[in-house]
Each structure stands twice: as C-alpha cells, then as structure tokens.
Amino acid sequence: MSKKTRTEELEKLAQFGKQVLEQIKKMENPHIQIPLRSLSNTIFDEDKQILKLGNKKQVRTYFNTAHTKKFMQTLLIASACKELIKSGKTTSIRDLFYMTKHTIGTSKENTFEDQEESNAIIEDLEVTIDALRENLHLFASTRGAMVGNATIVDSGDTINLRKMGSGGWGIPSIVEEEVIQFKNVEAEFVLVVEKDAMWRRLNEDKFWKKHNCLLMHGQGMAPRGVRRLLWRLNHELKLPVYVFVDNDPWGFYIYSVYKQGSINLAYESKRMAVTDAKFIGLSSFDQEKFDIPDNATIKLTKTDIARCRQILEYPWFQKKSWQKEIKHMMKKGVKLELEALSKKGLEFTANTYLPQKIENKDWLE
C-alpha cells in the first residue's frame, strides 16, 4: 500500500469507529448504515456503462437482538483490518475469519461460526467505507498469469515479462499501485484469454512478441486480481483490451464481467470494470467466416439455452449487435470453444484468426 492509500484507509476506518463512539457518548443506540448489496439495488449505469449499487441502505443497530451480533462482527472486522494495515501485513479472508473468531467471555457463543458470515461482513465494510478489500490488506484465492512486452515491479522485484518462460508470472490478488508498478511497457494492447490452455499455446507461439502485446488469462471467470490489473493497464497506460472467450453464454458473461462488472460485486465496478474492453471472439458468426467444420461445434444444452435467454434480458446486453450475436447462437443451436480453432491447425489462432480480427476491427463492444 502506498503511504497515501494506507493513511486514507486508516482514516476511513477511524471515521467509521468514531461515528459509533459519538453515538455512544450521546447515549444513542449505536447504529451504522450499510448500502444494500442485493440484485434489487444493482443498477446498470447507462452513462458510465457499468453495474453499480443503487442508494438503498440498511441500518444495523446495536440494541436490537436481530442486529446485535452482526453489529459486533462489523466492528470486529473493521478493527482487525485496521491492525492489518498498521502492521503492513496482508492476509487471506480465510485467515481473517480465524483471526477474529473467538468465544465471547465466559459464554459458549463464538464471534463467528463459519466463514460465510465473515465474508459477508467484509463486503459490508468495503461498501460502507468505500474501500477495496485489497486496500484493507485482504486477498482472495488467485488464478491467472501474464507474459508480454513489458517490465513491471512486484513487491520491489523487477520482473521482465518478456523472459517468463512457459510458466509466466502468477497474477497476485493484490495488484494495487504500491505492490505492482509498471516500468517499461512497450506493449500496445492487452489480450485476455479465458482459458490457460489457449494462453499457453499463444505463449508458445510468442504471440505477444509478434504482435507487441501483453498476454493474460484468468482461468475461467475473472478473479479480482486479474480484473483490477487489467483496469490499471487500461486506465493508467491507456492500453486497449481485447477479450477472447468461448462462444457460449458463459464466455459472453465472462466478457461482460471484465467490461461492466459483475452482479455479485457491483459496488466494485468503478475500480474494476474496463468499459472499453472489446469482445474479439469467438463470435457466433465465426464458423461461417473462418470456415470451421460442423463437427467442431457442440450442441447447446438446455442450461446453455436458458442462460442465453437470461443474458438476452440483461440491460448491458441490449445493444443491437449483442442481441444479434446471442440470437444467432440460439438459432444455430451450437456453441464453439476456443480450442475448436485448432481444427484449422495449431497455429491458426495465433497466425490467422486473432491478427485478422484485430486488423479488421472485427469485434463487439
């Protein structure tokens, strides 16, 4: 954490505590206001093109048997985060659960019974004091890797992403400015691949070298670290972002999470959504365009079709181009995986498909 961020977050936590203290001094019933993290309070901001939380709030009161425990938990987590930031250490949300779990006084009551409780409180706290959990020194499980035409600094170590072999640099959960700095970024865009297998193929073919880019994957649904790092590359370095996912409703949704944010973490979109990310494929029109044989396609399952119907309704898929894209998939009745391109030869993706898509600006937004 930079000193500035650290001081800011500590200040927010202190304010949060002081507010409760003031209430107690005034002999009021202590209470805190927490923005509601529910689907009903999730809205699609048409201007900014991101998912965000609405204005609904819940009030959590100390003297209310239905609230007391959660009130206590909220203050407990806030206090533990303050200690973490002060000590300069980071830890996992699982660790934090154990750190704050204890039996209260001589009772048989524990502060937390399971981690779901503490996870929810962490999210409450994030949204209440408007801080990313990463800035509260908490990390989640990580996936994803990166290579490409750039040098970065990670925790003081200079890492040349051009020299990372076949394994690549593992993208950590906390990628804030004070952990990760960009040094010598020659890359002109970022290609995010849904699956690590395709990432490996493209890395083996040195796609990033030939096309001067950064090559990243998030191993399926994008983890927070990958999203936040992509956001930083896009916002701070103005690098265009291309997302390369399976041609199925799940791939489309993964793209939309990179672009507009996720329903679960709507309150974090402004710090994670890459609103100008481009969907480079696979498109439902690619089979014809690239002459991919029928036996490389897979029939849509009932679950796939139901999911197509769902995303057709999402406000952020209302653009004509997306409606056309999704409906074409449903009409064809089949989906296409990234690996299907290998039917055209192992180097087809790196040497033909991707360059052609980028050159022709053949993408969706």
Please give the positions annotated as active site: 98
Q: Report yes or no: 254 and 279 within 8 Å, Cβ to Cβ.
A: no
Question: Is residue 45 close enough to count as binding its own copies by CB under 8 A?
Answer: no
Q: How far is the CB of 42 from its own copies (least distance, A)?
A: 28
Nearest-5° angle of CA 323, CA 327, CA 328?
Answer: 115
SS3 52: strand
Q: Which C-beta is closer to its own copies: that of 130 or that of 339?
A: 339
Q: How far is the CB of 30 from its own copies (least distance, A)?
A: 26
Q: From CA 357, how far away is CA 344, in angstroms rounded?
A: 16
Q: Are 230 and 148 in contact (CB under 8 A)?
A: no
Q: Min. distance of Cβ 283 from its own copies in angstroms?
A: 18
Q: Which is nearer to its own copies, 139 or 322 (CB)?
A: 139
CB of 97 to its own copies, least distance (A): 7
The smaller minimum CB distance to its own copies, of residues 154 and 362, is found at 154
Residue 134 interacting with its own copies (CB under 8 A): no
Is the bond leading into 282 cis (omega within 30 degrees of zero)?
yes
Neighbours of 29 (CB within 10 A): 11
Tokens (6 digits) for 201 = 């193929």
Neighbouring-strand partners of residue 138: 91
- Asked if 2 touches its own copies (CB under 8 A), the answer is no
Piece of the chain touching its own copies by CB under 8 A; list 13-21, 119-127, 194-202, 234-242: 194-202
Position 348, amino acid: F
| Contact partners, residue 200, CB within 8 Å, separation at least 6 | 166
Q: Rule CB under 8 A: is residue 159 a binding residue for its own copies?
A: yes
H/E run at residue 253 = helix 249-260
Cα radius of gyration rounded to whole Å, the chain: 23
Question: Measured from the CB of residue 223, what is the shortest distance to its own copies in angstroms?
Answer: 11
* Interior/surface letters 251-289, b for 16+ CB within 10 angstroms, e for the rest: bbbbbbbbbbbbeebbbbbbbbbbbebbbbbbbbbbbee
For residues 78 to 97, the per-residue mask of contacts with its own copies, x marking binding by CB under 8 A and - elsewhere, is ---------x-xxxx-xx-x
List the one residue from 158, 301, 303, 318 that touches its own copies (CB under 8 A). Answer: 158
Closest to 319 in 3D by CA, of 130, 131, 81, 44: 44
Identify the CA nearest to 35 among candidates 225, 222, 265: 265
Asked if 32 touches its own copies (CB under 8 A), the answer is no
Residue closer to its own copies by CB (options 90, 283) is 90
Residue 197 sits in the site that holds its own copies (CB under 8 A): yes
Residue 61 contacts its own copies per CB under 8 A: no
CB of 232 to its own copies, least distance (A): 14
Residues near 309 by beta carbon (within 8 Å), at least 6 away in sequence: none
**Tokens 């979109």 belong to which residue?**
269
Query: Footprint of its own copies on residues 319-358 (CB under 8 A)?
Result: 337, 339-340, 342-343, 346-347
> How many residues sit in the footprint of its own copies (CB under 8 A)?
58
- Least distance (Å) from its own copies to the CB of residue 243? 19
- Of 13, 150, 179, 257, the residue at the interface with its own copies (CB under 8 A) is 179
187 is an interface residue for its own copies by CB under 8 A = no
Token duo for residue 167: 């394994």
Residue 116 touching its own copies (CB under 8 A): no
Give me the residues that bind its own copies (CB under 8 A), please.
Answer: 87, 89-92, 94-95, 97-99, 101-103, 110, 139, 141-143, 145, 153-159, 163-174, 179-180, 196-198, 200-201, 204, 219, 293-296, 337, 339-340, 342-343, 346-347
